[in-house]
Amino acid sequence: MSAAVLEQRPQILARAAQGDLDSFSQLIDPLLDPAYRLAAVMLGDRSAAEDAVQEASIKAWRKLRQLRGDAQSLRAWFLSIVANECRMARRTRWFSVIRVADVPAQAPDDRESHSDLRRALMRLTPDERLPLVLHFYLDLPLDEVARTLRVSPSAAKSRIYRAAKRLRADLTIEEVF
């Protein structure tokens, strides 16, 4: 997000809350990529992830006036909507499609270890994957992870560590944070 946009965010947020679509787009555009990545990991389905991001964006647009706090809270607020949309998508989806074509080609040497980690990752529930994505992949600070998960920072820390331990049993808490 550019510095100019960051500086103007309170005004943009106010305009967006009053129904200005361009202002809302300015705010939401930089968040679409992390939102998509979060949804894709949670759902394990790229097409469903884009659907979830679209639905979440529409909900955010409709509920922008309910956003508590300032524009700094927008990212955590929006990502929490995306995560919720992913949960709903999983509940309503009665079948899953494995898209073989989506899996990129890998070097033979890397394939084994990556696929082990990937298998371990996909064995986690989407709600277990969520704190890992927020912390490791999107690199959010702990308090923002907590706000996205709508839990306390200590609970967020605990969730991240617990999920990471399920991927690598010998992991210490110092290695995670």
Partner 1 sequence: MSNDDFRRELNSTFDQVSGSPSPGLRDRVRSGIAQAPEARGPFWIATVAACVIAVLLVGVLFVANPLRRPSSNVGPGVPTASPSATPSPSPSTSPEPQLPAFVCASSVAGQHPSSEPVAFVSDLRSGTHAGYDRLTIDFSNGGPSGAVELKPQSGTTFTQSPSGMSVTTKGRSGILVVIHGADLHSAYNGSVDIVTGYATLVEVKRVEDFEGVVQLGLGINGTGCYRAFWLSNPDRLVIDVEAGNQ
H-type alpha helices, 93-152: 108-123, 126-132, 142-149
Residues 6+ apart with CB under 8 A from 37: 133, 137, 138
Cα–Cα distance for residue pair 15/138, rounded to 1 Å: 28
CB of 145 to partner 1, least distance (A): 15
Binding mask 127-146 for partner 1 (x = CB under 8 A): -----xx--xx---------
Per rule CB under 8 A, count of chain residues that contact partner 1:
41
Binding mask 43-82 for partner 1 (x = CB under 8 A): -x-x--xx--xxx-xx--xx--------------------
162 touches partner 1 by CB under 8 A: no
Quick one: tokens of 4? 């100019």
Between residues 135 and 147, which has the closer beta carbon with respect to partner 1? 135
CB of 170 to partner 1, least distance (A): 9
The single-letter DSSP state of residue 134 is I
